[in-house]
């Protein structure tokens, strides 16, 4: 009898795909309008910050709405991924720590978006954010991203590497997302802006690789688990 419940693998593939779609939507808005959260994650004077908020309020709200959807999709993806990684032989404790850091990232991401919306509403009413409020927001954004860098680095440790896609994801998480993420905030704008797009690209590619690893259906036994991960044991970290 076919289960009435959607499998974890199907859930992961669906939410990873939806997360990719929302990221691409945010990138499209930024490319077409120059509006997005990224410029708001750096220090500006109150007048310049207010100008960024009010540049195209409708576009900014659309971007924030997509990002709120992205939070739901990527958090669901990583919750299911943690369960599946442990089933495939990943270390349970490391998976829990990685998931905890990712859940914290999602909470910080939501706080960030809500604050952007509050500041936008205030700016539309003629009240610009103060230097202190801007600094606090940038600090929160920095904490959010650096928690996510740690979480994604740790995900690569527990992620199944029995396939080329799994090994590629681990390599990108260790060799691209971590150094690029750190450099975004310590390099001049001429370098940081292109690196932001590299960071976007990593998220899209990483989510696609997650879907690929858990995308192959086992042909026997009626299970939706990928055959390549059956009884897989990860090599010891380091």
Within a domain: 2: no
Within a domain: 129: yes
| 8: its two tokens | 């974890």
3-state helix, strand, coil split of the chain in percent (to 5) is 75, 0, 25
Within a domain: 142: yes
Structural domains counted in the chain: 1
The answer to whether 113 touches 141, Cβ cutoff 8 Å, is: no
Within a domain: 194: yes
Within a domain: 180: yes
pLDDT tens-place values along the chain, 238 residues long: 456 677 999 999 999 999 999 999 999 999 999 999 999 999 999 999 999 999 999 999 999 999 999 999 999 999 999 999 999 899 999 999 999 999 999 999 999 999 999 999 999 999 999 999 999 999 999 999 999 999 999 999 999 888 899 999 999 999 999 999 999 999 998 899 899 999 999 999 999 999 998 875 443 344 444 434 433 333 333 3
163-180 pLDDT, tens digit each: 899 999 999 999 999 999
Within a domain: 95: yes
Q: Which domain holds residue 73?
A: 8-229
How far apart (Å, rounded) are the C-alpha atoms in residues 35 and 17?
24
Within a domain: 235: no
How far apart (Å, rounded) are the C-alpha atoms in residues 193 and 189?
6
pTM: 0.87
Within a domain: 55: yes
52-99 pLDDT, tens digit each: 999 999 999 999 999 999 999 999 999 999 999 999 899 999 999 999
Q: Print burial letters for 191-213: b (CB count within 10 Å at least 16), e (below 16).
A: eeeebbeebbbbbebbbbbbbbb
């Amino acid at each position: 009898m076919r289960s009435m419940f959607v499998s974890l693998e199907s859930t992961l593939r669906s939410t990873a795909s939806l997360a990719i779609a929302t990221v691409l939507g945010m990138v499209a808005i930024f490319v077409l309008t120059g509006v997005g959260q990224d410029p708001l994650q750096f220090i500006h004077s109150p007048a310049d910050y207010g100008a960024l908020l009010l540049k195209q309020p409708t576009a900014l709200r659309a971007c924030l709405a997509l990002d709120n959807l992205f939070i739901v999709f990527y958090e669901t993806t990583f919750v299911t991924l943690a369960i599946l990684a442990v089933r495939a032989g990943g270390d349970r404790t490391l998976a829990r720590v990685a998931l905890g850091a990712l859940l914290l990232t999602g909470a910080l991401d939501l706080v960030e978006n809500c604050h952007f919306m509050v500041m936008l509403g205030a700016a539309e009413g003629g009240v610009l954010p103060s230097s202190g409020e801007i600094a606090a927001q940038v600090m929160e954004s920095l904490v959010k991203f650096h928690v996510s860098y740690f979480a994604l680095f740790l995900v690569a440790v527990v992620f199944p590497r029995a396939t080329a896609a799994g090994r590629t994801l681990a390599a990108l998480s260790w060799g691209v997302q971590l150094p690029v993420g750190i450099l975004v905030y310590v390099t001049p704008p001429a370098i940081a802006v292109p690196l932001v797009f590299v960071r976007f690209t990593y998220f899209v590619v990483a989510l696609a690789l997650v879907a690929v690893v858990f995308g192959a259906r086992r042909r026997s036994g009626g299970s939706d688990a990928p055959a390549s991960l059956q009884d897989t044991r990860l090599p010891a970290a380091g």
